[in-house]
């Protein structure tokens, strides 16, 4: 059965892709265009607690996520945030960063925090997918 953090982020309906140990989901609050949550499917509540197999797969997931975001949205940087203050199982908020405005499906997306600290309070509603 999926753990609480997976369920909080809409697993399995929000999954973009997944491996044996990790699920990549669309982040419900789009702080910037293409924001994701990468969630370990194990019950670990500390990064040091994930299995060696999960750690090995994580490298593949990171490569796939970064390559896909760059191809789709031409981000300038990526912030990988492991906060885990509310949701206990190991997960990362993946926030693409943009120097300029991006257009996607008729909508404009800016990164008002660029080039400084990410403004997490911003939540962009995506009306089309």
* 32 within a domain of the structure (yes/no): yes
pLDDT at residue 104 above 80? yes
Q: Is the pLDDT of residue 123 over 80?
A: no
Q: What is the CATH number of the domain that holds 13?
A: 3.30.428.10
The boundaries of the domain holding residue 96 are 4-109
Residue at 71 is within a domain: yes
Whether 129 is in a domain gets the answer: no
Average pLDDT over residues 4-28: 97
Residue 63 lies in a domain: yes
Residue 7: C-alpha distances to residues 16, 38, 82, 92 (Å): 14, 13, 18, 15
pLDDT tens digit sequence for 37-96: 999 999 999 999 999 999 999 999 999 999 999 999 999 999 999 999 999 999 999 999
pLDDT band, residue 124 (cuts 50/70/90): low
Q: Is residue 69 part of a domain?
A: yes
């Amino acid at each position: 059965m999926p753990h609480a953090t997976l369920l909080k982020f809409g697993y399995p309906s929000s999954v973009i892709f997944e491996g044996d140990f990790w699920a990549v989901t669309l982040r419900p609050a789009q702080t910037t265009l293409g924001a994701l949550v990468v969630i370990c499917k194990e019950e670990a509540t500390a990064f040091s607690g994930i299995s060696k197999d999960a750690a090995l797969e994580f490298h593949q997931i990171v490569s796939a996520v970064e390559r896909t975001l760059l191809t789709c949205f031409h981000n300038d940087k990526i912030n990988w945030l492991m906060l885990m203050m509310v949701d206990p199982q190991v997960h990362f908020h993946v926030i693409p960063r943009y120097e300029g405005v991006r257009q996607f499906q008729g909508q404009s997306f800016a990164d008002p925090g660029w080039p400084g600290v990410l403004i997490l309070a911003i939540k962009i509603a995506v009306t089309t997918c």
